[in-house]
Amino acid sequence: MTTPSMLTRKPKRLTIRWRSIIVHGFLIVGALVMIYPLLWLASSSLKPANLIFSDLSLWPSKIRLQNYVDGWRGAALPFSSFFLNSFIVSGLAVVGNVFACSMVAYAFARLNFVFKRTLFALMMLTIMLPLHATLIPQYALFYNLGWVNTFLPLTVPKFLAVDSFFIFLMVQFIRGIPRELDEAAVIDGAGPIRIYWSVILPLLTPALVTTAVFSFIWTYEDFLSPLVYLTSMDLYTVPQGLSLLMSSKGASSWGPLLAMSLLSLVPLFVVFFVFQRRLIEGIATSGLKG
Amino acid sequence: MSTTLSGTASLESATAPEARPRRHKAVGINARQNGAAFLFLAPWLIGLVFLTLGPILASFYLSLTRYDMFTPPQWLGLDNYVKMFAEDGRYYQSLRVTFTYVFLSVPLKLAFALGIAMLLNRGLKGLGFYRSVYYLPSLLGGSVAVAIMWRQVFAYDGIINQILLKFGIDGPSWITSTDYALYTLVALAVWQFGSPMVIFLAGLKQIPQDIYDAAEVDGAGPVRKFFSVTLPLLTPIIFFNFVMQIIGAFQAFTPAYIISGGKGGPADATLFYTLYLYEQAFTNFQMGYASAMAWVLVAIIGLATTLSFQSARYWVHYGDER
């Protein structure tokens, strides 16, 4: 705020302070409402079954860690198996997206080739394309390749840069990297592969981190693809494990179910707290849906 | 405004790749350049052909057949489409559910996102903290765990009803009631207003303070400033958020699946389009019919997007038009 406007506002100062207290009050109440369900989840996961729905207080009067022990055992297989599967699939998705999308983005941002405009337009169109448009033929394809009930349908597409949103994100980022750096490398005798690897990739790190973080979150949360492709229980990911626990145990075991639900969110909380700034910047600059 | 107003503007500049390709290069892109470029593009091109373009065409063909995965498709012509619109009551129900969901959740979500973003944009202390807390739900919201949590929150003996009971109100069984089940899903979507809020915040930051100062000199109050400065300058962002949310909302699946136990119940009250499509394809193995449904969904989303873009010229103001 500039000095002159400060001067004219001086008599209003008191009301401005009151207004800011009201705004803070409102925002704090709103924030509490927003995270109340999550706090309730955390506290209920520690309560004995008879208290989950009768004790409103967030601080459990009796703590029952047994919920976690029972939940971890899962419906038929323990959650260690579901978590391991989820981490394998999400980890591969991260690696695939980071490398494949950055290669394509480098080509679009820096290299010249035939049909560039057409291919770029196609790439932009695929961002908008709903998943269901390709779901069934993809299933038929993977079925005929014998890939159903393996991790391949969930991971191979990432290595083929199917998530074109990340390509777009990286193209935008590479355009901001000064071309002089490439040109200097060309003078040093570097070809496109060297330039990609030693000039562009290191400078692209922020966009790569954003891509990695969102790839992890989306793959880890994804329910539809595992539901369609993974049929044997030992390949189930965490969301399927939760769904299984929910349908098999029914109302008798809310405690263990809520305990595992909370536990399944822990990797997301960790990613959120470590990469908060990248996440928020990523959304703000590119409109990622998060 | 010289700097781009975040998302939409950068989307636009992106649709015109390489502002102006240098003439002499455009004339003769040599074989070596092509070779190098296509080396980098290879994985994506394989994906484009086999996982995107091929499947889209295949899905159109399958939509004209009866197909169960195990026997070769049988030609039906337009029968699937006719059946969908003329005979299938559940199909209409799924349309009704999905449209209700989209038309309720998207405007509400955007209203909350804009409202809170405006409050946060006053240079408050603790902005980072508030932004994180309000954003968190939209990060977790797509997960099965949150859907399970939501189911409990709105259960007959869940916290919503316990709080209502304190005020002497005996709440309904939200999740199992045909009147309310869909609205719990709308509430779950609205709860995730964080990501459009973050985009709004970035957009609000781009509005130069001088415009507000000038408006103030002209005697504009806060309401007038909102309607004459903030809202018009923010229309590109509102538009962008609107389109993205619409596209996303039509495809909602996980929460409806978990909260209704995979069936779209009670009595099809939460039979989302995608849920019905999934059921037809992977439970009934009516892959041809499901493909036809997928094509209609693509058409609906395409139409909604086109209409939005068409309407944009009447209400979206781009800063550099003057």
Close Cβ partners of B50 (under 8 Å, ≥ 6 residues apart): A141, A160
Label the pairing between strands B74-75 and B65-66. Answer: antiparallel
CATH class of A75-286: mainly alpha
Give the bridge partners for B75, in sequence order.
Answer: B65
In angstroms, the CA A79 to CA A72 distance is 5
**Residue A174 distance to chain B (closest CA, Å):** 12
Which tens digit of pLDDT belongs to each residue from A208-228? Answer: 999 999 999 999 999 999 999
Q: Is B5 helix (H, G, I), strand (E, B) or coil?
A: coil
Identify the pLDDT of residue B19.
45
In angstroms, the CA B46 to CA A285 distance is 29
Could you tell me the CATH number of the domain that includes residue B231?
A: 1.10.3720.10
Q: What is the ipTM of this complex?
A: 0.89
Q: Which residues of A touch B297 (CB under 8 A)?
A: 130, 132-133
Q: What total of structural domains would you count in chain B?
A: 1
**Residue A280 distance to chain B (closest CA, Å):** 7
Contact (CB<8Å) B145/A193: no
CB-CB contact of A212 with A97 (8 Å)? yes
Whether residue B222 is predicted with pLDDT greater than 90 in this model: the reply is no
- Reading the block at residue A279, the tokens are 């996440």
pLDDT interval class at B157 (50, 70, 90): confident
CB-CB contact of B173 with B156 (8 Å)? yes
Close Cβ partners of B9 (under 8 Å, ≥ 6 residues apart): B236, B318
**Residue B322 distance to chain A (closest CA, Å):** 24
Asked whether residue B23 is assigned to any structural domain, the reply reads no
Name the one residue in this structure whose structure tokens are 């022990």.
A69
Whether residue B187 is predicted with pLDDT greater than 90 in this model: the reply is yes
Q: Closest partner residue to B201 among A37, A246, A284, by Cβ?
A: A284
CB-CB contact of A51 with A62 (8 Å)? yes
Identify the pLDDT of residue A254.
83
Taking residues A31-46, what's their average pLDDT?
91
Q: Closest partner residue to B59 among A133, A164, A223, by Cβ?
A: A133
Any CB–CB contact under 8 A between B248 and chain A?
yes
Any CB–CB contact under 8 A between B244 and chain A?
yes
Close Cβ partners of A14 (under 8 Å, ≥ 6 residues apart): none
Mean pLDDT of chain A: 88
Domain map (residue ranges) of chain A:
3-69, 75-286
Whether residue B304 is predicted with pLDDT greater than 60 in this model: the reply is yes
In angstroms, the CA A206 to CA A102 distance is 12
Rounded (5°) CA angle A241-A73-A257:
55
Q: Which of A12, A132, A201, A224 to mutate to test the interface with B (most CBs of B within 10 A)?
A: A132
Torsion, Cα of A290, B143, A217, A89 (10° steps):
-150
Which tens digit of pLDDT belongs to each residue from A146-169? Answer: 999 999 999 999 999 999 999 999
pLDDT interval class at A13 (50, 70, 90): low
Q: Which residue range forms the structural domain that includes residue B135?
A: 6-14+78-315
pLDDT interval class at A251 (50, 70, 90): low
- Reading the block at residue A17, the tokens are 């302070």
Q: Which residues of B touch A134 (CB under 8 A)?
A: 51-52, 55-56, 59
Asked whether residue B45 is assigned to any structural domain, the reply reads no
Query: Percent of chain B having pLDDT more than 70?
Result: 90
Contact (CB<8Å) B250/A130: yes
Q: Which residues of A touch B37 (CB under 8 A)?
A: 107, 111-113, 192
Please tell me which residue of chain B has the smallest CA distance to A102: B40
Asked whether residue B1 is assigned to any structural domain, the reply reads no
In angstroms, the CA B126 to CA B171 distance is 36
Whether residue B14 is predicted with pLDDT greater than 50 in this model: the reply is no
Asked whether residue B42 is assigned to any structural domain, the reply reads no
Mean pLDDT of chain B: 87
Identify the pLDDT of residue B124.
81
Which tens digit of pLDDT belongs to each residue from B21-62? Answer: 444 444 456 787 888 899 999 999 999 999 999 999 999 999
Contact (CB<8Å) B301/A168: no
DSSP codes of every residue in B194-239: HHHHHHHHHHHHHS-HHHHHHHHHTT--HHHHIIIIIHHHHHHHHH
Which tens digit of pLDDT belongs to each residue from B62-104? Answer: 999 999 988 999 999 999 999 999 999 999 999 999 999 999 9
List strand residue ranges (DSSP E) for chain B, in order.
65-66, 74-75
Q: Is B286 helix (H, G, I), strand (E, B) or coil?
A: coil
pLDDT: which is higher, B20 or B161: B161
Identify the pLDDT of residue A12.
58
Query: How crowded is residue B57: how many other Cβ atoms within 10 Å of its Cβ?
Result: 11
Query: How crowded is residue B18: how many other Cβ atoms within 10 Å of its Cβ?
Result: 16
Surface-to-core class of residue A170, CB atoms within 10 Å of its CB (0-12 exposed, 13-18 middle, 19+ buried): buried
Whether residue A286 is predicted with pLDDT greater than 80 in this model: the reply is no
Q: Which residues of B touch A238 (CB under 8 A)?
A: 144
Taking residues A256-282, what's their average pLDDT?
91
Asked whether residue B43 is assigned to any structural domain, the reply reads no
Asked whether residue B175 is assigned to any structural domain, the reply reads yes
Asked whether residue B26 is assigned to any structural domain, the reply reads no
Whether residue B140 is predicted with pLDDT greater than 70 in this model: the reply is yes
